[in-house]
Structure formats: structure tokens, C-alpha cells
Chain A
Amino acid sequence: MQKTLKKYFAIFALPTLIAFALAFLIPFLMGIYLSFTEFTTVVDAKWVGLRNYIEVFTQNQDFLNALWFTVRFTVVSIVTINVLSFALAMLLTKGIRGTNLYRTVFFMPNLIGGIVLGYIWQLIINGVLYSFGVTITAKPEYGFWGLVILMNWQLIGYMMIIYIAGILNIPPDMIEAAGIDGASSFQILRKITIPLVMPSVTICTFLTLTNSFKLFDQNLALTAGAPSKQTAMLALDIYNTFYGRAGSEGVGQAKAVLFFIMVAAIALTQLYLTRSKEVEN
């Protein structure tokens, strides 16, 4: 059958492959190439070697600031989102009446797009800050925590669902047995529940990690980097470098390549961790 199927390459694989080449492969390779050139449109690229990469760090501090902001944001998001969603998952697996309804409500924000989320929270946060005579642009910390709250609101429900699936996988008799042996509920949590939901923890950690690290829409809509680019994350900084003014497209592309390398490194770590876990089990 393999032989016959092979002849049908044009029908089965070609459409996807063409689209893939146009939308991803060629742009990706061109992107790498362009990061070593100076260009405004693709046709006028001039080779400049590593200059763009040097300018990423020397032209101004924007990229490093954005990187630092992104890292801080990501770490805080991972911790808060996972702790809260795990707690919610624990509550919702206790068989309380209306569990399904709660699950529905908590998950809902996840479906709303980033731009819309950004404007919703801009209104709310400004509304609260108004009573103190300031707005979200007053201090970078406001924008930072605003983004954290937004991200929590969006992702808690999602992560909660994954944790619920993990918790429901734990054989109930294990917990029952521990209870009979006199283990306190905290001990059960620490010695049984948490170790057994570790796979979910890994998944959720990496989901929050990549989602937070690559955040763009929410950042753009909530603060757009205000005040003075101090709340701009990496993706937004790259966008601004590209489209902010003529002449720095090469630097923007170089930033994008660096960004790609960071994201790829995260993904590979994840792959490595999940692989080694699987072997362990």
C-alpha cells in the first residue's frame, strides 16, 4: 500500500506542503538571512554581518529591559497561575454541588482573545487606580501586576482543567488507605497527590511558561509598553523595532532570531524533561 500511496503525494501532502513553505519555511529562512542584513524591503538587503546583533544590545537598552521584564513576568505568572489553579482543582474534585458550573465559569476567560482581554482589564485596573488618583501608566509595577492579574484570569481555568484530569487519575483507594492509616490531609496532599500529578505540573508549567514568554496581544492592549516602554515585553519590543520607524528592520529581525533561540531552548528543555520523566516511569 505504501507504494500506491506514494504516488498520491500531490493530493495528500502537496497542498499542506506548499502552504507550509509559503507561510513558514521560506519566511523563516529569509528571516535568518535578513537578520544579517540591512533592509527596508526584502529586495534591497545589504549584508552587514553581525552588526544588527551588536546593535540589539548597544543601540539602546530596550531589548534587555524587555527581556528582564519578560523573565520576571514569566516567573511570577508560572508560580501564581499554577498554585491558584491547583488549589481550584483540589476544591473542584471534592464533589461539591455545582462543580460543573464552576468549571464552566473558570474556564471561560480562556476563550477570549488577547486584545479584548487587554482592554477589559485596562478599564478595570484604571477604574480601581482612579480612586488613588493615578492610572496604570503611573508606574511600571502597575502594568506588571496588571498583566499578571490578566494572565491569571485567562489561564487559571485552563490549567485547572488539566490539574483536575491529573487529580482524577489518582486511584481513590490510595487516598482512602492513607486516611485510614491516620495521615493528615496535608500529608496526603504532599505525599500522594502532588507526586502523582507531577506530569500535569510539568505540562502546566511549560504551558504557562511559553504563553507568558511569547505574550503580545495582551501586552499591546493593556499598556502598549507605557510608561516609556518600561512594560514592553520581548514580542512587543520586536514589533516596535520593526515597525516603529524606518531603518531598524535588520535590528528587529536580529531580535526576532534571538527571541526564537530563547523560545526554542525552552521547548527543548521541556522535551528533555518530559522524555526523562517518561523513562523514569
Chain B
Amino acid sequence: MKKINKVLALTLSMLIAATTMTACTSGKGGASGSEPGSEPGSSASEESTPTGKGGEIYFLNFKPEIAEVYDAIAKDYEAETGVKLNVVTAASGTYEQTLKSEIAKKDAPVLFQINGPKGYAVWKDYCKDLKDTELYQHLTDKSMAIQSGGGVYGIPYVVEGYGIIYNDAIMQKYFALDGAKAKSVDEINNFTKLKEVVEDMTARKAELGIEGVFASTSLTPGEDWRWQTHLANLPMHYEWKNGNVDLTSDATKEITFEYADNFKNIFDLYINNSTVAPGLLGSKSVDDSMAEFALGKAAMVQNGNWAWSQISGVQGNTVKEEDIKFMPIYIGMEGEENQGLCIGTENFFAINAKADPAQQKLAEDYLYWLYSSDKGKDYVTNQLGFIAPFDTFTDDEKPADPLAREVLDWMGKDGINTVTWDFLVFPNQTFKDEFGAALLEYAQGTKTFDEVKQIVVESWKTESAGNNA
């Protein structure tokens, strides 16, 4: 009898010990070498020293559409250096939320990204000074980096542009029609003309073989960033530009949404000349829109060059590569004939200052590898499709996809004013979500645009004042 007791007691204690052990060792993420609660740096154990083999980098990725490419990069990088890149991707529209909960954890992300000065203000305690990193030395335009008090806290890693993507084949078909409102895309250089053409195209959509001019204006929560962030950038850009507002000052804590009517102009044009009725937009995703465009059901769609993979990846794709072009988003501002695409970045790498220094070093090495080694650069240009802002890339090491080419073309055009990405100073995700929800209600006809405007102004104020910095 006693024997059984002993055996049982032993088994139980082993079970408990085993669970606690596995709990410690199978812990995820980077700190495979550091014990719980150890001070950063106090235990740079062998496996996480940068010179030795191994180690792990926890990277919290912002771009879900390229998560799979990062997985491939991780595999290659580990094969080459023995360092494991642990890529975790936040679902669309939840990056702030995910970062918030992850960074407070014991094994926090080492490599993460901030979306500009607002992001830096929130995460500044965690942003390491990157002035001395190799990658920063190669940044072509140093003013693009997030700087504060002589330090550099975020390095932009991609230049992106967005506008209205159009299918030139459909446009040419339209221009060839009798009584077309324009004969070439070059004539469309302001909102009035755009509206005229779009509405005429809608009237003749059967002849053109399309279901609508614009692909659906996706307004499902989490799928509405093209409007509450990207489209909203234009009126805000002009409000601040015309009001001579210094974007780094507190003057951006309140807005009047002065050009709300211009926003309404283009938004109405989108939803009234679309492939689907406005009431159905609440279930549409970005993916749906891109597919409609790829399948030739729509002639235009507002998005950026990152959407190339979504267009090319659609089965039964009918759009030819050479027919995919960009035009600027015209919202009816004075002098917009010279307006270009919206070009900038909201993607800045930051390294967690509170992480183990050995891991910080690993992250720096990885970044430099990605943007300077042949293999890394190949991934960046050809798989991630990034226009990389570093001088390690030669002129022919630019992405070959049509959208990236178009962005580069527009950047080089003379006399064209590129619209900067001023949405970097939008208060936070909550503001964007509330804006998006209001737009959905407007599209469905349950809110007036005046109410939307009011929500935007008020939510902006509340969220800017919030203690989120």
C-alpha cells in the first residue's frame, strides 16, 4: 500500500514540476535565454549573443497582406545565420491594440513599428535611438526618419503611394465611345472632370461591360482604412497646408474639417458609381474590391501600390499588367490640376529599448541584412514589392510591378505636387474606427454627412486630448 502512495505522490509532483518546467522553457518569443524577471542585459546567455549561433528576434508585423513573405524570409534568415525570426502579425486595424498588449509582456517584441510621430509619442519609452545603426546611415533622405532631440527613433523602410488605380483598357474603351466626356486620361485632372467622366461611364456601364466604375467602397470594420485614413488624408492635408499649420505642434489637436464637403464629393462619387448598392458596403472587404478590379468588373479603385499582390493573386484575373495605372485623387480643391499621388510612409521600424541589448543587436543585424544583402534585397524588391528608401539599392533594384513603377513615375514628374501622408498625425485607431463607423452609417443612409463631420471633429478632439501619449 505504502508503495502505491509513494509512486502516486512522485507522479503527481513530477507532473506539477513538468508543467512548470515546460511553462518556463517552451516560453515563446525571444527571451529563450533570459530568465523571467531578469534585467535586460544581465544575462546575455550564450545562445543569444549576436556573434554566436542562434538567438531569436520577435518581430511584430504591421502588414498582414505580406505576412507570408516574412515567413519565407524568416526561414531563409535562420538557415543563413541561425537566428530565428519570430514573425507575429496583427490583424488589420488592430496593430496598436496588439502592440499595446504585447509590449507590456515579459517577452516583448524586439522589432516593431511605429506609424509616425503620433506612434512615437505613444511608444517613446520603448523606442531605441537608432542614429548609430548601419541601416540609418544608408537612409537616402534622413529627414524622413522619426527624430526627436537629436535622436532617431523610427527608420522608414518603404515608400508607398496611393491614388485611384484604373484599368486603362476600360478607359480606352470609354474614350472611344461617341460623345465621351474626355478623350484621354490626361484630360482628367480635376474633380469636375472626373465626376463628369465617371457619371457618364456609369450611364454606359453596359456598353463598357463593367458593373460599376468604382470597386466597392469596403466599409466593414477593419476594412475601412482606405477611407477613414487614406482618403481623409486629402482634406486634412489641405486644411493644414492652407492654414499654415505646423504638423509637429499642438495645433493639430483640434480640427475644423474645413474641407468636409470635398471629402463628401469624392466619397459620394465612389459610393454612387460603384459595383454595389451603398447599402451593401457594410459587408465588403478590401479583398472584394481588389477582386472586382482584377476581374474587370470595375474600372477604378482607390488603393496603393501595396495592393499589387492582391490584384495579381486573383484567380481569373483579366487585367493586363500594362493597363494598370494610377491617377491622383481629386477632391475639388483649387489648383489640383498639379496634384500628384499621396506618397509617403507610415511604416517606421523601431527597436524595443527595453529588450535585451543582445536581442536589440540581433534585430539591427537582421534589418541591415534585409536591406543590404543580395538575398534580402531580392525579397524587398521582388516579393515584398517595397520601394526601399536606402542607398544600398541601385536604380534597377526597384520593384517591377506596374503600381510601384507608376508611383516612381509620379514622383519624378515635373511640376507635380505630391501629397504628403499627413494622416500620420491622426490621433489614434479609435478615432479612425469611429470615423469609419460614421461613414458606414452615412453610406447606408442612417446618418447625414453633417453628423459625420461632427463626429470627426469631436472624436478628433477627444482622442487627441486622451492620455494616450
Is A in direct contact with B (CB under 8 Å) within the complex? yes
Asked if B446 contacts A245 (CB within 8 A), the reply is: no
A229 within 8 Å of B by Cβ? yes
Chain B residues with CB below 8 A from A243, complex form: 97, 100-101
What range describes how many residues of A lie at the interface?
20 to 34
Chain B residues with CB below 8 A from A224, complex form: 221
A227-B277 CB under 8 A given contacts A11-B9, A137-B283? no
A135 within 8 Å of B by Cβ? yes
A15 to B97, CA, bound (A): 34
Contact with B along A210-234 (1 / 0, CB 8 A): 0000000000000011111100000
Chain B residues with CB below 8 A from A244, complex form: 97, 429-430, 433
Interface on chain B toward A: helix, strand, loop, or mixed SS?
A: helix
A227 to B280, CA, bound (A): 13
A40 to B281, CA, bound (A): 36
Q: Which of A237-274 contact B (CB under 8 A)?
A: 243-248
Closest approach, in angstroms, between the C-beta of B462 and any C-beta of chain A? 8
Identity of the chain B residue whose Cβ is nearest the Cβ of A138 in the assembled complex: B444
What are 15 A-B residue pairs whose CB atoms fall within 8 Å in the complex? A40-B104, A130-B280, A134-B444, A135-B281, A137-B220, A137-B444, A226-B221, A227-B282, A227-B444, A229-B437, A245-B100, A245-B428, A246-B96, A246-B122, A247-B466
19 extra A-B contacts, CB within 8 A, seeds A134-B444, A246-B122? A40-B104, A41-B104, A130-B280, A132-B279, A135-B279, A136-B283, A137-B220, A138-B279, A226-B437, A227-B437, A227-B441, A227-B446, A228-B437, A228-B440, A243-B100, A244-B430, A244-B433, A246-B100, A246-B468
A266 to B4, CA, bound (A): 46
Asked if B280 contacts A228 (CB within 8 A), the reply is: no
Asked if B468 contacts A245 (CB within 8 A), the reply is: yes
A95 within 8 Å of B by Cβ? no
Asked if B101 contacts A136 (CB within 8 A), the reply is: no
A195 within 8 Å of B by Cβ? no
A172 within 8 Å of B by Cβ? no
Asked if B280 contacts A135 (CB within 8 A), the reply is: yes
Chain B residues with CB below 8 A from A133, complex form: 277, 279-280
A228-B434 CB under 8 A given contacts A130-B280, A137-B282? yes
Asked if B97 contacts A134 (CB within 8 A), the reply is: no
B467 within 8 Å of A by Cβ? yes
Chain B residues with CB below 8 A from A15, complex form: 12, 16
What range describes how many residues of B lie at the interface?
20 to 34
A126 within 8 Å of B by Cβ? yes
Identity of the chain B residue whose Cβ is nearest the Cβ of A41 in the assembled complex: B104
**Interface-central residue, B8, B428, B434, B437, by most chain A CB under 10 Å:** B437
A244 to B269, CA, bound (A): 32
A11-B12 CB under 8 A given contacts A228-B438, A247-B467? yes
A139 within 8 Å of B by Cβ? yes
Asked if A245 contacts B430 (CB within 8 A), the reply is: yes
Chain A residues with CB below 8 A from B466, complex form: 245, 247-248
A178 to B9, CA, bound (A): 62
Closest approach, in angstroms, between the C-beta of B182 and any C-beta of chain A? 31
Closest approach, in angstroms, between the C-beta of A63 and any C-beta of chain B? 16
A216 to B458, CA, bound (A): 29
Closest approach, in angstroms, between the C-beta of B441 and any C-beta of chain A? 5
Contact with A along B380-410 (1 / 0, CB 8 A): 0000000000000000000000000000000
Closest approach, in angstroms, between the C-beta of A243 and any C-beta of chain B? 5
A227 to B441, CA, bound (A): 7
Closest approach, in angstroms, between the C-beta of B452 and any C-beta of chain A? 11
Asked if A137 contacts B468 (CB within 8 A), the reply is: no
Q: Which of B1-18 contact A (CB under 8 A)?
A: 8-9, 12, 16
Contact with A along B1-41 (1 / 0, CB 8 A): 00000001100100010000000000000000000000000
A130 to B276, CA, bound (A): 11
Q: Which of A1-59 contact B (CB under 8 A)?
A: 11, 15, 40-41
Identity of the chain A residue whose Cβ is nearest the Cβ of B96 in the assembled complex: A245
Identity of the chain A residue whose Cβ is nearest the Cβ of B123 in the assembled complex: A246
A222 to B390, CA, bound (A): 44
A66 to B164, CA, bound (A): 39
Chain B residues with CB below 8 A from A126, complex form: 283
A243 to B104, CA, bound (A): 13
Chain A residues with CB below 8 A from B277, complex form: 133
Asked if A226 contacts B440 (CB within 8 A), the reply is: yes
Closest approach, in angstroms, between the C-beta of A195 and any C-beta of chain B? 47
Closest approach, in angstroms, between the C-beta of B14 and any C-beta of chain A? 12
Contact with A along B405-440 (1 / 0, CB 8 A): 000000000000000000000001110011001101
A248 to B96, CA, bound (A): 14
Contact with B along A120-131 (1 / 0, CB 8 A): 000000100010
Q: Which of A45-96 contact B (CB under 8 A)?
A: none
Q: Which of B230-282 contact A (CB under 8 A)?
A: 277, 279-282
Chain A residues with CB below 8 A from B16, complex form: 15
Chain B residues with CB below 8 A from A248, complex form: 466
A11 to B16, CA, bound (A): 11
Closest approach, in angstroms, between the C-beta of B332 and any C-beta of chain A? 27
Identity of the chain B residue whose Cβ is nearest the Cβ of A125 in the assembled complex: B283
Which 7 A/B pairs are nearest by Cβ-Cβ distance?
A: A137-B282, A228-B437, A134-B279, A135-B282, A41-B104, A247-B467, A135-B283
Partner among B100, B433, B446 whose Cβ is within 8 Å of the Cβ of A138: B446
Contact with A along B196-232 (1 / 0, CB 8 A): 0000000000000000000000011100000000000
Identity of the chain B residue whose Cβ is nearest the Cβ of A14 in the assembled complex: B16
Closest approach, in angstroms, between the C-beta of B37 and any C-beta of chain A? 12
Identity of the chain B residue whose Cβ is nearest the Cβ of A140 in the assembled complex: B446
**Interface-central residue, A41, A137, A224, by most chain B CB under 10 Å:** A137
